[in-house]
Chain A
Amino acid sequence: MASRAHLVQRTAIPGLGLSAGITLFMLLLVVILPIGALLAKGASFGAANVWEVVNRPRVWAALWLSFRLSFLAAAFNLVFGVILAWVLVRYRFPGKRIIDAAVDLPFALPTAVAGIALTALYAPNGMLGSLTNQIGWQIAYTQWGIWLALVFVGLPFVTRTVQPVIEEIETEVEEASATLGAGRLHTIRHVILPMLMPAALTGFALSLARAVGEYGSVIFIAGNIPLRTEIAPLLIVIQLEEYNYDAAAAIGIAMLVISFAMLLAINLIQIWSRRRIGHV
């Protein structure tokens, strides 16, 4: 019965087969081919050579920096993005529409513009940087600066994925919980957060993925000192400057593998949390 129902799907949109075909073809052209080409490049270079390029202290340092800061930025976005989404859905305040629209700006802004703006703001002589520098806290050209840029570009992913879910949570659910004697914290932990969890994790994964690959906005604020503030995408650009396409592909493949492993882990957590909580 169930499998039968899957086969005879009825939908309002005609020509499902055709549109699915076009979609898959475009996906192949736009996503799978380039990644395949990257892997093919690595295969022709040889696994041992790929490993030789990746297994250098400077490359490890850059990969560790990129993934660690991306994770920390995505984690911050997970918390702050959910709070922001909650505020935007549940509260009314003047200028709410403007703030709601502003959330998308990091999407629209060319990354280089974002990088230059952030650097101007947080440089030791910038508006905010000069304040933090007075208490001996330098932001631009340190790892703090990189983290900040990654938070900036990743924030909308969490907010925009969680927002529609919050809109669907009726206030009655909270009221019911309260009527049954639950305190506020209990309601948040056992009623609201479980419902938000899957969407929030998706937003976290998107934010993380975006941060890992980010180049334009980070390069201006990073300082780019090897072993200290050098991100992995910059190392790829450096290899390209040397006309060293193979080594660039090797670092690219390393990033791809790590990203894939991280996204897989996040998906597994998502599946696990869905099973535990049930469908939302």
Chain B
Amino acid sequence: MMILRTTALALILLAPAAHAESLLNVSYDPTRELYREFNEAFAAHWQAQGNPAPQIETSHGGSGAQARSVIDGLNAQVVTLALAGDIDRIAQDTGKLPEDWQTRLPHNSSPYTSTIVFLVRDGNPKGIADWGDLTADGVEVITPNPKTSGGARWNYLAAWAWAEMNGRDPQDFVGQLFANVPVLDTGARGSTTTFAQRGIGDVLLAWENEAYLALEELGEDSFDIVVPSLSILAEPPVALVDGNLANDEQRALAEAYLDYLYTPEGQALAFKHFYRAWDDSAADPEDVARFPELELVTIDDLGGWATLQPEHFGDGGIFDQIYTVR
């Protein structure tokens, strides 16, 4: 009897409160600041159109772990993750969104993009200018583990692409690069902390937005950003999880939320938070001018996630071989 009552009570306490106008955006680590501001801007925009105030929540974590939560039943109406592969996995495993989800929004469903740059210590004491310098003796490179971090997969593939274009054996080059890594954190934020606050390493391979954020928050006189000759176009995509929509009102809200990312206002916020975006009509020219031009290869140039993921990061893949075979 008591168990029953306790169980009933527990169920009541654990049951999600049903709000028609609520939205959960499941995102990855480095978008924390972006979505904090975007959610406010969108709520204001939504109310200005005569709607009641929406309840928008955003959850952050490693991209893969976030995708797994959604697969395991986290009721996210919107996902904004680091890799298309993570959203593909949600589509495959749950059927809650169509497999061709990436065609539903412009620019491969990526309202903002980024790339991988180097953050070095003030004055660049080791003289690091390009990927080739990262394998030199005595240079310590900080990057998260590509097995646990979506961002690190971009780091790894950018290095791979550079080696391919510069006549180096890519596997050998990337192997040498990772031999220079003294600490492999599990996520991008962890690596930034290791480099910037713990003082480990000579160069941090980072999302461009993370590098600028580190400059802003930790002091411009401590670090410099070095832009390599070639890097990768990182496209963190967004998607609607149709299967998690409770009703038409929530669908309207979720669709408006994603569309707002593509409006001049939404794009201006992306620029402000150091993402490269598509539409700079409403953006602060200073935010836009910040980004240097560089050659960017895309994931499709390298073969697409469907082949890259298992080949490089799967069990026994090239990344595993880097550490176990030699």
Contacts and interface: CB of A to CB of B under 8 A. Distances in A.
Interface of A: 22, 25, 56-58, 119-120, 123-126, 140-141, 219-220, 223-227, 234, 237-244, 247
B42 to A, nearest CB: 30
Contact of B199 (A123, A220, A237): A123
Contacts of A140: 198
A238 B182 contact: no
Nearest to B63: A241
Contact of B64 (A123, A224, A225, A241): A241
Chain B: interface size category: 20 to 34
Nearest to A123: B198
Nearest to B184: A224
A124 B198 contact: yes
A234 B95 CA distance: 29
A125 B199 CA distance: 6
6 contacts: A120-B198, A123-B198, A141-B183, A223-B184, A225-B183, A241-B64
A225 B181 CA distance: 8
Given A223-B182, A237-B148, A238-B145, A124 B323 contact: no
B323 A226 contact: yes
A58 B319 CA distance: 13
A227 B313 contact: no
Given A223-B182, A225-B183, A240-B68, A58 B199 contact: no
Contacts of B3: 22, 25
Interface in B172-203: 181-186, 190, 197-200
A3 B71 CA distance: 54
A126 B198 contact: yes
A70 B313 CA distance: 29
A242 B315 contact: yes
Contact of A238 (B147, B185, B197): B147
Nearest to A223: B183
Contact of A242 (B182, B185, B313, B324): B313
Contacts of B186: 219, 224, 234, 237
A235 B65 CA distance: 14
B320 interface: yes
Nearest to A240: B68
A226 B324 contact: yes
A110 to B, nearest CB: 15
A244 B147 CA distance: 12
B285 interface: no
Contacts of B184: 223-226
B185 A224 contact: yes
A226 B315 CA distance: 14
Nearest to A130: B199
B278 to A, nearest CB: 30
Interface string B296-326: 0000000000000000011100001001100
Given A243-B71, A247-B315, 18 more contacts: A22-B3, A56-B324, A119-B198, A124-B199, A125-B199, A141-B183, A141-B200, A223-B182, A223-B184, A224-B184, A224-B185, A226-B324, A237-B186, A239-B315, A240-B64, A241-B65, A241-B148, A243-B64
